[in-house]
Amino acid sequence: MLSLFTLSGLLCAQGLDTELDRKATELLQKMTIAEKIGQLSQVNGEYGQITDGMRIRVREGKIGSVLNEVDTKTINELQRIAVEESRLGIPLIFARDVIHGFKTIFPIPLGQAATWNPGLMEKAARVAAVEAASVGLRWTFAPMIDISRDPRWGRIAESLGEDPYLTSELGVAMARGFQEDNLANKGAIAACAKHFVGYGAAEGGRDYNSTNIPENELYNTYFPPFKACVDAGVATFMPSFNDVNGAPASGNAWLFRKVLRQDWGFGGFVVSDWESIRQLEVHGVAAGQEGAAQQAIMAGIDMEMASGAYAAYLQKLVESGAVPESVINEAVRNILRIKFQLGLFENPYTNPSDFPALLSPEHLAIAEEAAMQSCVLLKNEKAALPLPEGRFKKLAVIGPLADDPYEQLGTWIFDGDPQHTVTPLAALDNALQGQAETHFVKALETTRSYDQAAFPEALQAAREADAVILFLGEESILSGEAHCRAELGLPGAQLELLKAVAQTGRPVISIIMAGRPLALGEALEYSDALIVAWHPGTMGGPAIARLLLGLDAPSGKLPVTFPATSGQIPIYYNHKPTGKPATEESYVHIDDIPVRAPQTSIGNTSYYLDAGYKPLFPFGFGLSYTRFEYSNLQAATPMINSGDTLVVSVELANTGDFEAEEVAQLYIRDLVSSIVRPVRELKAFQRVRLKPGESRKLTFNLPVEQLAYYYPGTGWKVEPGQFRLWIGGDSNAELNTTFEVR
């Protein structure tokens, strides 16, 4: 806990000498303690209703924000009460989890991350913001930028993957899309960087579980996306549910007072997660709800979501001297500042006619492009894809996810409407009119079903077809918050269905819709081609159809490592080398070990006897319908000084027959450092479109400061010495060179 002296100095240091801060301070001086605490209280909406109790609390200035109310008439009426009937006329801020779209649903965030396209993700967030703002929402709880290395964790679906650099770039793009360059713009909404910090490192991949993260890992791996969002001007922050090294985030003054406010200069406000302040008592670090309220406000949690500890106890805590009123004042000032930035005092009401129509053709086109670029081709043998034009007359479309408009939307889509979804079956039927026939058999009622009664019909359809498209994966409810899985195989009898269909001898193309990486080893074995389409959203069907029919080529790249088995987890590309790294020469499979072999006969390096040391697919991996070749990698100046920029170039050529896009990725390794550094680290990437036979020289500019790492007790530094650099199509790129920092 920070001392009162340190806290007081910190609060003064945060005062922003701006017009907005002046307005906030002037208003603050007029407020009673009850009205101040009201600004710190966020309540859940009544879903289109306004209870007498809600009217009274808003009129008395005892509510600062309302979440989960999306009826514009209700929003405007509550806002009218706040602005016209409360003593000081302070507007409310209406919030909602607009995670990957409002009405137009985009791929889940993990799927969007597979686009490796910040510009496209910014457009998607812009669409979501405009649609949400059109009903009166001005605040979303996104982006989620937790580094996620464990696919068992259900919320990996909401994340942007395992890499700090990629997550930083994409998280900033989302925040920029939500907020534009001015929060007062019509259609801009406040973004929220969450969950600070380490939520994705929950032990065992089990939601809400504890995390133990050393200081150097916090700074080098988990902090960077949050720092990037602060630098980009994100308006709000949210703590994680978990404890971080024994201190629950919602009561962690070091995280929010020291790191976020003092070190990073964050000027927005912090909102708790749902009832996470109340849960400080459950964690066992607070004696009752009064203690929880005291701990959270002193830690720097400005607003309480859903639970009522602040409303019930803060005034008493101030009157007793347990919480200085200056702490309350600073929390209120932080909130008022954002309300002024949003222009709520000048424009509190919403007129939907001021905005583009929901699900407009322009919005749907962006959703389709995002879904198309998110698809990752993991296998394509015997040129199974794209389907040869004019050389097939009948397609068998099989599986529980081929025509399920709800499930393809994914997790956390409170406002998505399945009636607007275009499924893969509908898209294929539309695209193939007059050219080929589709025969659809659902085969399994859900992805979890074990009932094989419909298998004979599916197999008959497969035998009569020229090719089979199988839509497999997991329902949307199987990922997301509190939906963690210990085993990552295809649920239900889906694998049995795939095996049976493969035995018909027809080409089998598997499309996997899921909220996480799955262990797809056997699915790959029985598929001629396999695409991971994640949960692709409203326009997933047309996007998938485009790829299947060769109207565009897959360009998605994995934002997270795919394990070969659940037992390999955690497995991620930017791991440390260890003193005994595994090699091809050292690896011996369990079945090849002689009986009673001496211990030294099995290599003594870091791997699993039954699963090796390699993932099923590495971070950054993704095939295309064409071939890309990298050559002539050069560092313009192989020796550089601190403060310089390393300029690196490489030739990229499309040597295949399809026009396509490639994501060229640059990785580095600090070969000798004061603490152990990862075997590779992503530092830059470019998305490039090339025609068949076309080549292009790509140039990367890498500031030396980007090579810095955090050394505990010392801080950030770039150490002189040798570095290795790779450029290629995934994290296993072979083309490399070296450079030296002096």
For 369-397, b/e burial (b = at least 16 CB within 10 A) is bbbbbbbbbbbbeeebbbbeeeebeebbb
Cβ–Cβ under 8 Å, residues 148 and 207: no
Q: Would you state the pLDDT for residue 600?
A: 77
Q: How far is CA 296 from the centre of its chain?
A: 26
Q: How far is CA 422 from the centre of its chain?
A: 24
Sign of CA dihedral 234, 237, 240, 243: positive
Task: Output phi, psi for 654, to 5 deg.
Answer: -90, 105
Q: How far apart are CA 535 and CA 109, in angstroms?
A: 9
Q: How far apart are CA 380 and CA 387, in angstroms?
A: 11
Q: Which CATH architecture has domain 628-741?
A: Sandwich (2.60)
Torsion angle of the four alpha carbons 273, 278, 281, 282, in this order, in degrees rounded to the nearest 10? -70
CA distances from 514 to 155, 452, 470, 490, 518 (A): 12, 22, 14, 10, 8
Q: Would you state the pLDDT for residue 3?
A: 36
Beta bridge partners of 221: none
* Mean pLDDT per 10-residue interval, the chain, length 742 residues: 34 55 95 98 96 98 98 98 98 98 99 99 98 98 98 98 98 98 97 98 97 97 98 98 97 98 97 98 98 98 97 98 98 98 98 97 98 99 93 96 98 97 98 96 98 98 98 98 97 98 98 98 98 98 98 98 96 96 92 88 86 97 98 96 96 98 98 96 98 98 97 93 98 98 95
Cβ–Cβ under 8 Å, residues 233 and 190: no
What H or E segment, with its residue span, contains residue 266? none
Burial bucket for residue 668 (CB in 10 Å: 0-12, 13-18, 19+): buried
Beta bridge partners of 139: 95, 190
What H or E segment, with its residue span, contains residue 682? strand 681-690
273 flagged as catalytic: yes
Domain ranges for the chain, please list them.
Answer: 367-548, 628-741
CB atoms within 10 A of CB 738: 12
């303690």: which residue's tokens? 33
Q: How far apart are CA 279 and CA 282, in angstroms?
A: 5
Q: Which two tokens stand for residue 689?
A: 């479109």
- Beta-sheet pairing, 93-96 with 139-140: parallel
Strand blocks (E) in 63-128: 65-67, 93-96
């390096």: which residue's tokens? 605
CB atoms within 10 A of CB 253: 21
Q: Would you state the pLDDT for residue 14?
A: 41
Q: What is the DSSP code string of 103-119?
A: SSBPPPHHHHHTT--HH
Cβ–Cβ under 8 Å, residues 240 and 196: yes
Q: How far apart are CA 482 and CA 242, in angstroms?
A: 13
CA distances from 37 to 215, 316, 330, 544, 611 (A): 34, 11, 11, 50, 55
Task: Output phi, psi for 667, to 5 deg.
Answer: -125, 150
Q: Which of 273, 404, 415, 552 is catalytic?
A: 273
Q: Which amino acid is at 217?
A: E
Q: How far apart are CA 508 and CA 338, in angstroms?
A: 53
CB within 8 Å of 43: residues ≥ 6 apart:
54, 57, 63, 65, 66, 67, 306
Assigned CATH class of 367-548: alpha beta
Q: Which two tokens stand for residue 87?
A: 């003593």
Query: Global pTM?
Result: 0.97
Cβ–Cβ under 8 Å, residues 438 and 397: yes
Q: Which amino acid is at 142?
A: A
Cβ–Cβ under 8 Å, residues 685 and 163: no
* SS3 call for 669: strand
Q: Would you state the pLDDT for residue 602?
A: 66
Q: Which two tokens stand for residue 222?
A: 């988990």
Task: Output phi, psi for 244, to 5 deg.
Answer: -115, 110
Q: Would you state the pLDDT for residue 1?
A: 33
CA distances from 247 to 6, 238, 430, 656 (A): 20, 15, 55, 54
CB within 8 Å of 426: residues ≥ 6 apart:
403, 541
Q: Which two tokens stand for residue 408?
A: 């393809």
Q: How far apart are CA 467 and CA 461, in angstroms?
A: 10
Closest CA to 737 of 686, 671, 693: 671
The per-residue pLDDT for range 388-409, each reduced to its tens digit, is 988 899 999 999 999 999 999 9
Closest CA to 229 of 258, 201, 255, 190: 190
Q: What is the DSSP code string of 234-287?
A: --EEEE-SSEETTEEGGG-HIIIIIIIIIIT---SEEB--TTTTTHHHHHTSSS
Task: Output phi, psi for 657, to 5 deg.
Answer: -110, 0
Cβ–Cβ under 8 Å, residues 711 and 717: yes
């006329």: which residue's tokens? 89
Q: What angle do CA 198, 515, 106 make, to 5 degrees?
A: 100
Q: Would you state the pLDDT for residue 467?
A: 98
Sign of CA dihedral 346, 350, 352, 358: positive
Cβ–Cβ under 8 Å, residues 510 and 397: no
* SS3 call for 552: coil
Q: Would you state the pLDDT for residue 601?
A: 72
Cβ–Cβ under 8 Å, residues 238 and 196: yes
CB atoms within 10 A of CB 720: 11
């600004």: which residue's tokens? 39
